[in-house]
Chain A
Amino acid sequence: MNSTREPLLQMQGVHKYFAGVPALRDASLQLYAGEVHALIGQNGAGKSTMIKVVTGAYGLDGPQDGGQITFAGAPVRFHSPKQARESGISTIYQEINLVPFASVAENIFLGREPRRFGLIDWPRIYREAEQALAVVGLSVDVRKPVSSLSTASQQMVAIARAVSVDAKLVIMDESTSSLDDREVELLFGVIRKLKQDGRAVVFVSHRLDELYAICDRVTVMRDGQTVHVSPMAEISKLDLVTTMLGKELAVAHRKAASETSTTAKPALLDMEGVQVAPRLRGISLQVGAGETVGLAGLLGSGRTETMRAVFGADRLDAGGLRLGEQALDLREPAHAIAKGIAYLSEDRKIEGIFPDLSVRENMTMVLLPQLARLGVVDRAAQLRIVDDFIARIGIKTSGPEQPIRELSGGNQQKVLLARWLALSPRLLLLDEPTRGIDVGAKADIANLIHGLAATGMGILMSASELEELVSMSDRVVVIRDGASIAELQGESLSEHTIMSAIAEGRVAPAAEAGDAHG
């Protein structure tokens, strides 16, 4: 890329705070016309915030906010998405924002319908919508409502809309996550054409192979800062993952404390070639009784979906599950719970707590049928359990009757963990159990998990922080693009080996290879 040219978009020293918490700290981004630029980072690294600042969804109006933004040679400050759109920035969001019951053509021309004599020029809309769809290789009836199309086709319509606006800059925020290989190839064709026409593309994706296939340069963000900028070809996959996760390779190590021959333990959970559309394409793993197995992988690799499949929250399309000697056919989480499987979901607010209910009720919701005689809850027994857990795992609350929404994130998480532990499950699924909680609570929960494995419970857990995963797991299964690709344990388990497995899609030399079919 010719860096002596004037950049199309230049963002420098961008600061953005939410309620005093920094989301961006001195972040920067530079793009040139005719380039495809990868913007990557872990969850919470700030890339979404960055995109929303560019597209005018977030202003830089707070007292601590600031930064210079230049677009097409002039300093700008967008205050609404409309303003950014009119200046030539077109965005395709991950969650498709189409109007479901309006026709495909209406969606493509939404807000900019061509008019004739003051009325909408429908023949022209239909004609031009068909042309716009032809560019992305989609041929559907443009008069049909968008909701009648598949998710992938809807994504293609959104792309067609973004491309048909004569934009100088097209931002694609995880546009490929719902597309299959053929559709991704079509999208790449569109991107190459945009590039030829001298437009710039910002490409956000968690699939490393895609980044290398289509992007010219890359900007890596971490903790709200821009930590790396280079041509795509000049950084190896391993370095890219390392930069993104922020770990120095040399220090990767593992406490060699509980080094027993873990594989000898009998398999409690056996997952074989599990597929769930669209994310899971072949997951095979085992968890033994008393064993803690870590699930590693980038955001969007399928960690949450793997746990949901084991818990019966999503139906399997292929593959099999066994718990102990028994084959599982789970249609609802209730079935999994009855078999002794517990699942601590990743998103506390959306999938975990009942905000208006008390700590007592939140903690005993799963156990409630067992605490009842003839359907009437035994208050005394309920309170005994609640008081016991509050004391045992150190939940800071004014009492069992306090509404859970008033607790801190860490204490909410402890209540939810207690909800499942009260059930004495055989298998515990923990999806990011320490996410978004303070350091003290983190240590408490880590200790708790450690103690649980000693009681013979099988634990499958995921964590974005590799250090945590390595120190807490007996074994780690690496997932990449919805397939389990490696299994690491003992000597071969370290942050380094996990990262190279994530980056290369295979196990580094000297480690045994896991299954990768499906």
Chain B
Amino acid sequence: MKNNKILIPVFAFLILLSSAFVVVDPGYKPGDKAIDFKLKNIDGKLVSLHDEKYKESKGFIIVFTCNHCPFSKAYENRIIELNQKYSTSGYPVIAINSNNAEVSPEDSYDFMIKRAADKEFKFPYLYDESQAIAKAYGANHTPHVFVLQKVGRDLIVKYMGAIDDNTDNPEEVTKYYVNDAINSLLAGEPVAVPSTKSIGCTIKWKKS
């Protein structure tokens, strides 16, 4: 009984505290319809998933990434490989940087242009300046991948999460989550692992 007296305020406090951290919209889950966007590419032009250029695409590999994060950097070559491998079979990479440049100066638009040139990105690297797309998708950290499949005019989330199971060492990867998901989609089969979790740099939200 004595314990209960202490417990009640503790739990009340916990509930109060946890409610302060509740994310109102957690973003997408596999099977959800994803929104299209019009975001500025590093060449200054706006890119949308419904652009004429993507008319023949079967879907997209959307990668929320950035310039500064060591985990993003560790995956850059693998993102380039994914685009090489799958853009011709209908799943091009679209990279998006949603970090606020005031909070993370290295992730500014100018540095995006530089990073893309240094790494010779052959895919769009878009600036989600308002962070609305990261919020809508529920991107939480970088890199965070969403594989979308076109179904009519809709874009359906078929896989979300990590690229593979070893950030540090590409030689020791045993599970290629994104490759597996796209291979299944190309074969007309369901995606066996539709979502995974991974560690990454938190998206640098604009300070309110």
**Is A bound to B?**
no
On B, residues with C-beta under 8 Å from A are: none
